[in-house]
Amino acid sequence: MSIQTEPFYLNIGPQHPSTHGVFRMRLTLDGEVVTDVEPIVGYLHRGIEKLAESRTYTQIIPLTDRLDYLASMTNNVAYCLAVEKLAGIKVPERAEYIRIIISELMRINSHMMAVGFFLNDCGALLTPVLYMWREREKTLDLFDMICGQRLLYNYMRVGGVSQDLPDDFIPAAKKFVAEMPRYIGEYNQLIKQNEIFLARSKGVGILPKETAVNIGASGPVLRASGVKWDVRKMDPYSLYDRFDFEVPTGETGDCYDRYWVRMQEMTQSLRIIEQALAQMPDKGPVCADVPQFFRAPAGETYGYIEAPKGNLGFYIVSDGSIAPYRLHIFPPTLINITAFKDMMIGWKIADLIVIFGSMDVVLGEIDR
């Protein structure tokens, strides 16, 4: 005999832990079983898109650092790409290689934190995070070499990068590329066959392929559902068509597959970095001759890239002045979290935390 119960409403949040910003979920529960989910954002809104209207094109670059700040320089690249497309600016070849090397290092950097915090949400308190933080510090050392910063870099420029690589960067990057596969193997040995992790992630929070496509998901969330879509392959920008790399995909779209895809993508990023270091010209300009207060021609454009979390795009409308008339950001995480309802209904509250952790959410790019 079934027992009729009244639905119970529960707010998780608004809170900050592991979300890099304030997030709230309004749950409808039947006991501990989730019957409805309403994700609520907007607690951190900073008005970056409106601020951009009163700043020059160059002055906007530091604002983009504050979006997904675990992958700051990929935000810079996406914005600069859109401006260069609007203004018809040609980026020097050496600068393009530098951008790719930095972008893939940022992808590794971001994925290590995504996996580490996800495992923390699964109950593996601190140990995996600290293992991955160890190697993340090495990527931060590389970023420190090029611009003196370790979180918010402001290194990219419209037309290239702010300055050339120092002499000790390439040897240090080659050393990192050579050593990192061993550490990825160490992570997998620590995690992949862990019974508790498998029980909490396998078959949990499944996002079917059709649903992922219909909501417009992208990045590892989409590829974990078995969709082989990566902007670097399908619509190559910069010099990505010169590199040999694979696009890892999952099978069922569960929490485990989202972990697995990110781990595989780190290996592919190392392949790209290794090729870029070998192909990059030894000398050459690293930025086009662009005035600090340049005026983009009147018109509109959209530039997008494959950021660590998915398709990151910038839509810019120019009226011919030194600042955009309008700027709008298309953040991948905002689209990805619309899948929460499909992924969480029918699971228990403890599973909900694991599902949420597998999505790699940074509110900085959602509440922009």
Whether the pLDDT of residue 88 is over 70: the answer is: yes
Task: Provide DSSP, 183-201.
Answer: HHHHHHHHHTT-HHHHHHH
Report the alpha-carbon distance of residue 27 to residue 9 in Å, rounded.
Answer: 6
> Angle at the Cα of 106 (from 100 to 111), degrees rounded to 5?
130
Residue that is written with structure tokens 């020097």 in the block: 92
pTM as predicted = 0.95
Averaged pLDDT score across all residues of the chain:
94
DSSP reduced 3-state for 7:
coil
Give Cα 361 distance to the centre of its chain. 9
Whether the pLDDT of residue 243 is over 80: the answer is: yes
What pLDDT score was predicted for residue 31? 87
* Rg value, the chain, Cα: 21
> Angle at the Cα of 218 (from 212 to 220), degrees rounded to 5?
95
Amino acid (1-letter code) at residue 289: D
Report the alpha-carbon distance of residue 90 to residue 80 in Å, rounded.
Answer: 11
What pLDDT score was predicted for residue 43? 86
Structure tokens at 136: 């993340």
Instruction: Report DSSP state, residue 6.
Output: -
Contact indicator for 304, 335 with CB cutoff of 8 Å: no
What pLDDT score was predicted for residue 19? 66
What's the pLDDT tens digit per position in 12-34? 888 776 667 788 999 999 989 99
Contact partners, residue 137, CB within 8 Å, separation at least 6: none
Lowest average pLDDT, out of 157-171, 185-199, 210-224, goes to: 185-199
Report the alpha-carbon distance of residue 233 to residue 215 in Å, rounded.
Answer: 21
What pLDDT score was predicted for residue 14? 84
Output 225 or 127, whichever has higher pLDDT: 225
Give Cα 172 distance to the centre of its chain. 24
Contact indicator for 218, 310 with CB cutoff of 8 Å: yes
DSSP reduced 3-state for 271:
helix
DSSP reduced 3-state for 314:
strand
Q: What mean pLDDT comes out for the span 308-325?
A: 97
- Class of domain 8-48+89-294+343-357 (CATH, top level): mainly alpha
Q: What mean pLDDT comes out for the span 57-67?
A: 95
pLDDT tier at 6 (50, 70, 90 boundaries)?
confident
What's the pLDDT tens digit per position in 259-303? 999 999 999 999 999 999 999 999 999 999 999 899 999 999 999
Q: Is the peptide bond before 332 cis (omega within 30 degrees of 0)?
A: no
The domain segmentation of the chain, as residue ranges, is 8-48+89-294+343-357
